[in-house]
Structure 1
Amino acid sequence: MKTPKRLENALIKLYNAFHNNELNPECCSACAVGNILDNHDSWKHLSDAHGSTELNYVGRVHQRLGRRFNGYTPLELLHIEKTFLEACGFVTPLCHYNPKPTNTTNKDILFNGLCAVVGYLCKLEGIHNVMDYSRIFEFENEDPVYQFDVIYQ
């Protein structure tokens, strides 16, 4: 299976942001979409609220014109961000009175968000979730379905 280029690019950017501590759900240039879009925050003008999936006038114009940002439509970007925020424990859209996690840059919280985003990105591409490891434990007649070459050192 060949990984689509936009998915591969997004995964690399999210991986690097996670491991370089450059992922912040409350910052439009450092959140999931901000990282996918090369740490630009211009995408925030596609909606009136961070975490909303409702396009505003600017977003609708870009959507109708078929604009893509690093391969993703405006509506796809909003859904990616909503998925990330909710998996991190935020109530969307973000608002000062909505509950949020205590430590928003906690690695466990960010990992949960990334897992959800990767699942959503794979769904957009119509492929199996690349983070789903449950398939390696599948068996048939008490034999594993998948075989691995194990090298002992």
Structure 2
Amino acid sequence: MKTSKRLEQALVKLYNAFHNNRLNPEDCTACAVGNILDNLDSWKHLSNEHGSLELSYVGRVHENLGRKFNGYSPLEILQIEKIFLEACGFKTPLCHYNSKPQNPTNKDILFKGLCNVVAYLCELDKTPNVMDYSKLFEFENDEPIYHLETFLN
């Protein structure tokens, strides 16, 4: 399957962050967007509230100028972060009295967040969800429609 450069780069960064324990929804340099944007925190100025879809003045300027950050518009950046935070169990926008998971860096929680983010990234690029394995289980007349090749030593 052919993917866009921005999608491929985002997937590689998220994959590496997940497996190298560098994914943390409470750290703007290590959350989904922080990793996609090379572990920088400058993107946090696109909104006044973390996890909000409302652009700040700075965010509106960048959006109106058509600026992209590693291929993503300011509104797409905010949506990616909101999806990630909510899938990880946070109530958005983030604030000290809103609910959050007890252990936000739990691998199961992070994986759920990543699955939702990847689905959205694929949707943005009009690409089938790379995390969707449902085709592997499709069958017709009790036989699988698709076959996996296995490589045994």
What is the TM-score with the length of structure 1 in the denominator? 0.97
**Does 1:140 find its partner at 2:150?**
no
Aligned residue number for residue 109 of structure 2: 109
Amino acid corresponding to residue 102 of structure 2 in structure 1:
T
Partner of 1:65: 65
Write the distance in 1 (CA, Å) between the matches of 2:3 and 2:144: 25
Which amino acid is 2:142 matched to? E
Aligned counterparts of 2:93 and 2:102: Cα–Cα separation in 1: 17
Deviation by residue 1:80-108 (Cα, 9 ceiling, x = unmatched): 00000000000000010001000111111
The CA deviation at 1:126 is: 0.6
Residue 141 of structure 1: CA displacement? 2.6
Secondary structure at the counterpart of residue 24 of structure 1: coil
* 2:58 partner SS: helix
User: What's the counterpart of residue 39 of structure 2?
Assistant: 39
Q: CA deviation at 1:28?
A: 0.7
CA shift, 1:151, in A, is 3.5
Report the CA distance between 1:150 and its aligned residue.
2.7
User: Within 2, Cα distance between the matches of 1:16 and 1:5?
Assistant: 17
Question: Which position in structure 1 is the counterpart of 2:150?
Answer: 150
For 2:31 and 2:149, the matched residues in 1 are separated by 38
CA RMSD of aligned residues (A): 0.9
Aligned residue number for residue 131 of structure 1: 131
Structure-2 separation of matches of 1:12 and 1:96: 32
| Identity within the alignment, % | 73
Q: Which 5+ residue runs of structure 2 have no aligned equivalent?
A: none
Segments of 5+ residues of structure 1 without an aligned counterpart are none
Task: Output the CA distance in 1 between the equivalents of 2:75 and 2:117.
Answer: 14
Alpha-carbon separation, structure 1, partners of 2:44 and 2:51: 9
With normalisation by structure 2, the TM-score equals: 0.97
1:25 aligns with 2:25: yes
The count of corresponding residues between Structure 1 and Structure 2 is 153
- Cα 1:151–1:20 change in 2 (3 A) is closer
